[in-house]
Structure 1
């Protein structure tokens, strides 16, 4: 229905792709852009979804002038071949055992006619080259009906560490491809009623001071979660916050014990168990053991917040095996997923140590770092971003938004090391992917201002080399963010690889975010890039990296970039200030950020592209101690 009192205006302007577009604004929205929590209680919640501004933009796709929707904050496309209508989801917490009932209470709409809506592109693997594929789903595009049939949906009930939740999804657009009508639901009020349940929210033994930030960011009505005084748990429970699993070998046990002592001195209750004690070095035995100690009724109290696998991949000798996800990739995320919904319920970290030399290097790296952090000011002031430009993708946007945040919000001076894989950043737009305008409206000048509207304004896109990476790491930097193609032995652009690591002589150690394909494939015969970086020493002294986040197989474009933005927002909550909570301080814990990024990705454009997202959940692994903290100042 249309409310005649709505005030809106249409501005004709030139879009970022050089075509005519319409910018639509609504001045009397019921809530903020996106989701706004209304009333909440133990019996249900009311949620408002509002559009304060969006734009319709023309783009030449397969030699047709088609229209796309730019809705700020909605990054990913719809399902392949469907009308590319943006949607989003947020978790809603419920009492134990409750089921959810969704009702649409009221809404306001505006209808646009003669719209030729573009289909959503197929999300490609990072290894694919060439233009994106836009192929209409002919069944949908030939049917005289609105897509989607319903603008609001809820998922089946599931749990995040014992908290019963459902996903609430809103797609505030409907499109009829036969009549060419686009209906915009610029205000929607829904109610989610909680039916049944015992009135309690969450399972106390599964609650964790380390997981609360992830829960509070992901769950829209997080205030329903009871506050816990974790200091009262000390010496009164029979569980542990941190479990280290290692081979049944005295050398591995001794080094595991050194981690245990250090973390316990920090107030993190820690225990060590061997693969023999957990039932054997098989995926089934390890998964069953983790599921048993995470059981909400009979598991440890408290259940572990994190688990470290201290050993390289393997089935014999001093190794710890991983499950293989979908016959595709080695995935410790299967261990982390306790309730079968593909999402982590406990942090899984791994140190791929094969012998005492590796153990000494990997463990003393974080022990020395946390006991005696680097004191060189430039180490904290000069984070590194590195990327390979590819006009069809978001590689360049991903790393540059991170660098722009550090420069514009934290006042740092990032070192940019860039090279071109394909395209011409001096004349090309940031990307030719259809959803790019949505990303830019959030991160560029009309949004957070992390990057300029034109990449040519920023410049510095060429000349990035392995030597540049080596020099920057040797000079000192607390993190390095890379986004491009990759292989088992290194990055595509800039061409820094396992051999390049041999030229490092740094004693101050950065944490590496290697967001690409294959650089973390720790189950290969031989040594992958991430393992080489993590094990590296120079003249017998620790060098290379503190730890590294990397993928164990070929990954998908676009979903990876969205994962990265959620990862950084967990570590620096003002990175995306309208998502989640923004406490005054929060430790930078990359292993926990890895899990948070996956939850952010799951909610992005829900319920669309679930298969591509699931690959990302299982690919990315934290190489290092689970409680490794990164100092940024």
Structure 2
């Protein structure tokens, strides 16, 4: 192989002109594919409208860069970069697969120059040079390459779905004669033998989850055939928290909130992992939960730094990765659940991360909400045309149409660190960087380091998602606190979550990743962190980059994988349900409205001390949930959803007949401010209500306490008769005094 230094794709390549070769479609039309499926054969009808060529000048001469919209490239460095179509095809359990290919509308053309060879990725390192890769042995071949029309690259498993990774090659290229053959249409058939449809159905049903099905529906070309007729519940959602023992109590408020909003939450201490908290043992524990628990986890949150919850070391990256806590079904790298990490070294840091997420999801904010529609984009001065171009595309394609105000802080044109500080302190929901980085900073886009986060930010309750398309900034295995960890660990400032690379990243791959993530968020409704990030990684796979596995390993989430991003001002809800329900089995109807219109797909959760029941509202904004209570108690009613301000309410379960309970109180204190303070004597008038369906007679209520600092002087009041749903104060207030020494 001949290798020669060049500023490839950065300054040494000149794209002189472009030509469109039509095979039946207009310029720019994408590859189209239709699938038909039955238990014995899956047929893929492929249409390739055409391809584009651009002449490229390099140090080794002139080449033709070839591109077919909707197709990826060839990953073999130094060999001709011929377009490849990569598709995921769902196949039944137990089936063996044989391919049969029929090529239609074939043609042949002579190219003006050799097809450009696939080049090594260019790292985001200052002054990086790449070796121009040219495999002279391949280019000397007098044969049409790649020499196959289609193949199954692998068969993988993705959350209960068995998926064939099919590669289709509509182009064949003879480098010796510089001749290109193409097929404008192809029929690729997957012939199936031994399909176990019963096992296929039962496996899909067990792991069916709305979030993951939404991702797979976009990725699998024949999605829907094997899922048809499956009455699989979209719920429940399993949420597994694995936490270092020292942080157990600190993470409980998050677990309680996730449970209240409708997640079946399990908190496991590292001391409870069989065999101890090694990477393999933790992964085995997650696999067991996935395979055997009644509710398999959809999300896993790791709470602890690598000294308490170790990370895997990527086979391609040599750096830390949590990928294999998510890719647990089979030996492939496609996630079967969403994973994130609260990388904490002490209890205070866990408290910070828990409080940030709970407050973010509840909209417990102190600085307004306008910041939700603001974003800041930062680009380095080195290779600025790449990072700026990506940012501009994202802003113009996705953010501008959604009413965002976006800062464009381009270091090449003089943007400063202070401008970054000012933007973040003004409140931004998205902070996106592309350029050079290190374990402790952004190097040049503009420069921004850990001390800027710790000492210059004051963005209380206005925490952005930080996406760092830069080398090393997400290396949470670094010897000390890394840049990404600082963002999420600092109290009352910083970020809600951080997504970044644990080792060196690359210009073209980062460009693809950023575009795909924003497309997922704004055009495809992947609004939760794990969803948008996994969807972005699928784009890396489809592009056919030589470092696909590398990218799956190096980009990790420091944050809650299940968390929805706010992309609009929170929508206030009107939620209707009975205030009182009878003890015992009961079907509770809940209706959800916003500005008088029904809200579809709101998650409604009913929770008692022992029971959690969940469901999504239908198009009429309604859901009926079956709840069973065994004693008088409060039933918490929680409604959440994308861009919906949470509703936190309760219904009271009461026995049949009369049921009198507390309604409200009025304080008359000696201080006159309505606040009970030490040293005061208080008259407290209490209203009671009959929540039952029968009248209550001769009601008499006694006030008691076991607080040693409270002395009750009038402990009883007469209420008399209550009709159903009637309320009234007692005949006299209760009187008590508060000791002056009350702490």
With structure 1 as the length reference, what TM-score do the two structures score?
A: 0.81
Pairs aligned (count): 543
What's the CA shift string for 1:70-127, capped at 9, x where partnerless? 3224465542101111213110001112122221123222212144222111123322
Alpha-carbon distance in structure 1 between the residues aligned to 2:108 and 2:385: 32
Tell me the equivalent position of 2:225: 224
1:233/1:184 CA distance change after superposition, 3 Å: closer
Tell me the equivalent position of 1:41: 38
Q: Does 1:310 align with 2:264?
A: no
Match of 2:322 among 322, 332, 337: 332
Alpha-carbon distance in structure 1 between the residues aligned to 2:285 and 2:42: 37
Further displaced range: 523-532 or 404-413: 404-413
Deviation at 1:401, TM superposition (A): 2.0
Alpha-carbon distance in structure 1 between the residues aligned to 2:57 and 2:528: 43
Match of 2:280 among 284, 288, 294: 284
Tell me the equivalent position of 1:590: 529
Match of 2:335 among 344, 349, 352: 344
**Superposed counterparts of 1:120-519, under 5 Å:** 120-127=118-125, 129-199=127-197, 200-201=200-201, 202-226=203-227, 241-249=238-246, 252-279=247-274, 280-295=276-291, 299-314=292-307, 319-326=308-315, 328-338=318-328, 339-372=330-363, 376=368, 378-391=370-383, 394-420=386-412, 462-492=413-443, 493-501=445-453, 502-507=455-460, 508-519=462-473
Alpha-carbon distance in structure 2 between the residues aligned to 1:532 and 1:347: 22
Kindly indicate whether the alpha-carbon contact (under 8 Å) linking 2:40 and 2:195 is maintained by their aligned counterparts in 1: no
Tell me the equivalent position of 2:539: 600
Deviation at 1:409, TM superposition (A): 2.9
Deviation at 1:283, TM superposition (A): 1.4
With structure 2 as the length reference, what TM-score do the two structures score?
A: 0.69
Deviation at 1:287, TM superposition (A): 1.7
Further displaced range: 334-343 or 303-312: 334-343
- Higher-Rg structure is 2
Give the SS at the match of 2:99. strand
1:479/1:59 CA distance change after superposition, 3 Å: same
Q: Does 1:548 align with 2:491?
A: no
Alpha-carbon distance in structure 1 between the residues aligned to 2:70 and 2:126: 26
Give the SS at the match of 2:505. coil
**Alignment gaps of 5+ in structure 2:** 1-12, 569-743
1:626/1:598 CA distance change after superposition, 3 Å: same
Kindly indicate whether the alpha-carbon contact (under 8 Å) linking 2:72 and 2:85 is maintained by their aligned counterparts in 1: no
**Alignment gaps of 5+ in structure 1:** 1-15, 235-239, 421-461, 575-581
Alpha-carbon distance in structure 2 between the residues aligned to 1:625 and 1:28: 44
Q: Give the aligned CA root-mean-square deviation in angstroms.
A: 2.4
The structure where strand makes up a greater share of residues is 2
Alpha-carbon distance in structure 2 between the residues aligned to 1:557 and 1:514: 12
What's the CA shift string for 1:185-241, capped at 9, x where partnerless? 22222112222221124432222222111111211111124266565855xxxxx71
Deviation at 1:561, TM superposition (A): 2.5
Alpha-carbon distance in structure 2 between the residues aligned to 1:367 and 1:80: 47
Kindly indicate whether the alpha-carbon contact (under 8 Å) linking 1:388 and 1:418 is maintained by their aligned counterparts in 2: yes
Kindly indicate whether the alpha-carbon contact (under 8 Å) linking 1:115 and 1:182 is maintained by their aligned counterparts in 2: no
What's the CA shift string for 1:477-508, capped at 9, x where partnerless? 11112111210011122211112112011121
What's the CA shift string for 1:370-404, capped at 9, x where partnerless? 11165745413321111125449843333222222
What's the CA shift string for 1:118-161, capped at 9, x where partnerless? 21111233226345433211221111001111132212322111
Deviation at 1:172, TM superposition (A): 2.3
Tell me the equivalent position of 1:560: 510
With CA pairs under 8 Å and 6+ residues apart, which has the higher RCO, 1 or 2?
1
1:185/1:78 CA distance change after superposition, 3 Å: farther
